Structure 1
Amino acid sequence: MTMHRHVFACGDPALDFIATLRARRSARIDVLTAPGRLDAWYLESGLVDSVSPGADADLARARSVREAVYRLVTDRRQGRPYDESALAVVNDAARRPAARPQLAPPGRRTTATPQEALSTVARRAVELLGGPESRLLKECGNPECTDVYVDRSRGARRQWCGMKSCGNRFKAAAYRARKRNALVPAGR
């Protein structure tokens, strides 16, 4: 299977999963465009070592869980009660059998069906939203980015989902603005 190099900057697999729909307020770029892209995400996330090939129904189910997790994360961040329908979708997925690691001669190995991999993601969302790190959830400071991340930084000062993406862009723009302003003579 070709590796697709998904981005994992949010600090938790459940958050990285909801980040597969980028720029939710504008362009809405869905990186899960085919079952193979979803399979690749499961592998690249490290949650499983192998996954049986998914079908269109698996992709539709995964997108539904992704949007439900996003809704619950947004509700938690904004101090609202959880949306009941989103809660039902995530809890239903989390109740299903999850991927189970096995010990093999080379080490730990986790094989899964698409449904087991999705259940593993849903369980991670339950653990995150029901645990102490739920208070550390932040949305990226880039107005075009809607990624939510766990801010484990000292003093909770992190502003960007990741430095490789949004953080570098904003720091470079601020640097260029300072340079421009330094070149403008005083009084102008």
Structure 2
Amino acid sequence: MNLDHVFVCGQPALDFAATLRARRSLRFEMFATPERLDAWYVESGIVDTVTRSRPADVDRARRVREAIYALVTARRRGEPFGDPALEVLNEAARTPTAAPQLTRAGRRTDATPEQALAAVARQAVELLSGPDVPLLKECGNPECTRVYVDRSRGMRRHWCGMESCGNKIKAAAYRARKRAAPDAVADVPAELGAR
């Protein structure tokens, strides 16, 4: 069931909000099918299994995702929350979540799509009302719109993840310096270059 979802934001609700990637340009939708939504719930660790989602569950998840993104963005910018986004998030958070069960193999949580979404919504409520709000940052990659919790020393993290954005930006900067290097040598006066 692994569909290569990425979990780099430091909090499940932020990773959920990041499933619509490159919001300012390409807008790549990770929840293109019910199966992809179900895979995210399991891969994120929110639940161990989820009953099969339907297209209506995907639509509901996208609405909650967009509400989370709008609320996180408002909080990060110090702006007031929008009432429509609050209503969508709170409605999802009011849905009962799945109860974890103890089995011989350990803890297990089996959920419906509604219960899994409720767990994500409650994670967002905890984040947006908790002590990590000052740690919210948007990725430094201009194409990326992921918001993450910066728990680095001195809050000096710039990227949502080195594997995704950090390495791409650093490699692009390196290539740009390499392209500019021959021009810099050509600009050196001949008498200095001969030394």
Shorter-chain TM-score: what band? over 0.9
What is the correspondence of 1:77-96 to structure 2 with a 5 Å cutoff? 77-96=76-95
Bigger Cα Rg: 2
Q: Which residue of 2 aligns with 1:58?
A: 57
Alignment correspondent of 2:75 = 76
- Match of 1:48, as an amino acid? V
SS for the counterpart of 1:185 is: helix
What corresponds to 2:159 in structure 1?
Answer: 160
* 1:126 paired residue number: 125
For the pair 1:116 / 2:115, whether they are aligned, the reply is: yes
Percent identity, please: 65
Partner SS for 2:100? strand
In structure 1, give the amino acid aligned to 2:67: A
For 1:104, the equivalent position in structure 2 comes to 103
How is 1:146-157 mapped onto 2 (pairs within 5 angstroms)?
146-157=145-156
1:125-166 per-position Cα deviation (integer Å, ceiling 9, x unaligned): 000010010111111111111111111111111111110010
**Structure 1 length-normalised TM:** 0.95
* Deviation of the 1:186 alpha carbon: 6.1
Distance in 1 separating the partners of 2:69 and 2:103: 35
Give the aligned length: 187
Q: CA deviation at 1:99?
A: 2.2
- 2:38 is matched with which residue? 39
Relative to structure 2, which stretch is displaced further, 173-182 or 98-107?
173-182
Who is 2:29 aligned against? 30
Tell me how far apart the structure 2 counterparts of residues 181 and 5 of structure 1 sit (CA, whole Å). 36
Give the equivalent residue in structure 1 for 2:185. 185
Equivalent-residue separation in structure 2 for 1:80 and 1:181 (angstroms): 42
Instruction: Give the Cα–Cα distance (whole angstroms) in 2 for the partners of residues 99 and 155 of structure 1.
Output: 37
Where structure 2 has 5 or more consecutive residues not aligned to the other structure, the ranges are 189-195
TM, length-normalised to structure 2: 0.92
CA deviations 1:32-67 (Å, max 9, x no partner) are 001111000000001110000010111111000000
**Which runs of 5 or more structure 1 residues have no equivalent in the other structure?**
none
User: d(CA) in 1 for partners of 2:36 and 2:3?
Assistant: 7
CA–CA distance in structure 2, aligned partners of residues 20 and 100 of structure 1 = 25
Query: Cα–Cα, structure 1 residues 142 and 108, in superposed 2: closer, same or farther, change >3 Å?
Result: same
Which letter does structure 2 place at the counterpart of 1:53? R
CA–CA separation in structure 1 for the residues paired with 2:135 and 2:186:
43
Q: What SS does the aligned partner of 1:100 have?
A: coil
Q: CA deviation at 1:187?
A: 2.9
Distance 1:38 1:108 in 2: 22
Deviation at 1:180, TM superposition (A): 3.7
Quick one: which amino acid aligns to residue 107 of structure 1? G
Tell me how far 1:10 sits from its aligned partner: 0.7
Aligned-residue RMSD, C-alpha: 1.2
Q: Distance in 2 between matches of 1:32 and 1:84?
A: 25
In the alignment, which residue of structure 2 is the partner of 1:143? 142
